[in-house]
Amino acid sequence: MKKILCLQTGILQVNTYILKLNETEAIIVDPGGSFSEIKELLTKEQLSLKACLLTHTHFDHIGAVGDVLSEFSECLLYVHKNEAFYIGKNARQNQLKDFGIGVIGAYIKKTMPASLPEPDVLLDGGEILFEDSSNFNGGFIVLHTPGHSVGSICLYCKAENLLISGDTLFANACGRTDFKGGSETEMRKSLKKLYEFPSETIVASGHGEISLLRDITKMQFFL
């Protein structure tokens, strides 16, 4: 059984991951848009959603959050506490306040509803989630990895040697740090943390190809 499904969703083709916890339940990471495609895949796989996790709250990663939570009433929304401000009843207003200039502002106005559901679970980093999963033994540890944004997180499953890295780390780059809440200093610290994992770690990033940590060589100079 394939445990990890990936769709490219939304206007910027975010990698949306559907992780099968067991035969009937899954979690979704970063539903960036394209809800009809997400729903079609979940229906085909006969899966219900237990949780929706956001690696961060930039507009391109949250476009289908409202639809997901509306369709799956038992699905809980997880986000780092530092970015809860960008989710909830004033989501679009708060996003536009901090990211509303130029093309990004136009995208936010085009793709985001005025409000989104409030988060159910605020994360600090260090939590272990879904330990009872039959497919991901031991569950996922939440890593707070600021740099691209103030509340960026990664998810690491030791048993599967799998890192869901969001926009912190790509196949041969790291996320940009020039948005509000970004920090080059914090990015360096976060990357050092990630490079402590085994070189064979599978890096499933927020955009682009899945890779192995050992092959992401361009980031070494940044450390």
Contact 58, 87 (CB under 8 A): no
**CATH assignment of the domain containing 129:** 3.60.15.10
Pairing between β-strand 153-157 and β-strand 162-166 as defined by DSSP bridges: antiparallel
pLDDT given for residue 220 in this prediction: 65
Please indicate, yes or no, if residue 153 is contained in any of the structural domains: yes
| Cα(108)–Cα(143) distance, integer angstroms | 27
| Cα(17)–Cα(164) distance, integer angstroms | 9
Q: What's the angle, vertex CA 79, arms to CA 35 and CA 183, rounded to 5?
A: 110
Contact 130, 160 (CB under 8 A): no
Residue the block writes with tokens 């992780």: 19
- Say if residue 126 is exposed, middle or buried (CB neighbours under 10 Å; 0-12, 13-18, 19+): exposed
- Say if residue 151 is exposed, middle or buried (CB neighbours under 10 Å; 0-12, 13-18, 19+): buried
| Cα(8)–Cα(40) distance, integer angstroms | 14
Please indicate, yes or no, if residue 223 is contained in any of the structural domains: no
pLDDT given for residue 221 in this prediction: 64
Please indicate, yes or no, if residue 214 is contained in any of the structural domains: yes
Pairing between β-strand 14-20 and β-strand 25-29 as defined by DSSP bridges: antiparallel
Please indicate, yes or no, if residue 53 is contained in any of the structural domains: yes
Tens-binned pLDDT, residue by residue, of the chain (223 aa): 589 999 999 989 999 999 999 999 999 999 999 999 999 999 999 999 999 999 999 999 999 999 999 999 999 999 999 999 999 999 999 999 999 888 888 989 888 888 999 999 999 999 999 999 999 999 999 999 999 999 999 999 999 999 999 999 999 899 999 999 999 999 999 999 999 999 999 999 999 999 999 998 777 666 6
What is the total count of domains within the chain? Answer: 1
What is the residue range of 95's domain? 4-218
pLDDT given for residue 1 in this prediction: 54
Chain-centre distance of CA 177, in angstroms? 17
pLDDT given for residue 12 in this prediction: 93
- Taking the CB of residue 174, how many other CB atoms lie within 10 A of it? 24
